[in-house]
Amino acid sequence: MMDTTENRSEAAFSAEMERRVARLETRFYDWNTLGFQANVDTSYRRAQIRYIGTGAAGVLKDDNTVPAGSFTFSNMVLPAGSRGPLHVHDDAEEVFFVLRGKKIVMEFEKDGMRCTKVLNERDLVSVPPGVYRSFHNEGGDEALLAVVIGARQPQLPNYHPEDPIHGTSR
């Protein structure tokens, strides 16, 4: 049998690990985080569901998430027809993994060169720092993406000069 000190240490360890668990029933669709973008163009309407850290959408603190160590993790709900603005993260890689959905059209730009890639369910793209990216749900149904950003507290993105959101701030 463990002595009292060992029991306390095990209890403290268990409590610490519980703080690192984010359960589905405690998550919520945050439609407001990116609402400033939807105010410019309603096609930008989408929701963030935070799990680890707060991402790069301008939320500075969320006590309902697992603290970020070296990356953030969230889900993004993309209604049919919705899109994200053409933006760049200069400080971090960003990964998009399609959990549910089809025909997510990704656009990329760097140094004047552009290309598009179409992602479907269980497809993934890793976008390095310094590459502009946007996405558009051209499928007929709502899509759900997992989003990982490779920084504990990523900087706010910069929006492409040709995007309607350029010059807008939170």
Cβ count near 25 (within 10 Å): 5
CA-based nearest residue to 30, from 18, 38, 41: 38
Confidence band for 7, pLDDT divided at 50, 70 and 90: confident
Task: Give the domain 24-159 fold.
Answer: Jelly Rolls (2.60.120)
Domain boundaries, the chain: 24-159
What is the predicted pLDDT for the residue at 4? 67
Structure tokens at 132: 């502009």
DSSP one-letter code for 44: G
Read off the pLDDT of residues 25-53 as tens digits, 9 standing for 90 and up: 999 999 999 999 999 999 999 999 999 99
Query: Which residue matches tokens 């004047």?
Result: 112
Alpha carbon 28 to its chain's center: 14
Read off the pLDDT of residues 111-144 as tens digits, 9 standing for 90 and up: 999 999 999 999 999 999 999 999 999 999 999 9
Structure tokens at 138: 């051209």
Ranking 61-70, 134-143, 159-168 by mean pLDDT, the lowest is 159-168
CA-based nearest residue to 143, from 24, 47, 27, 36: 47
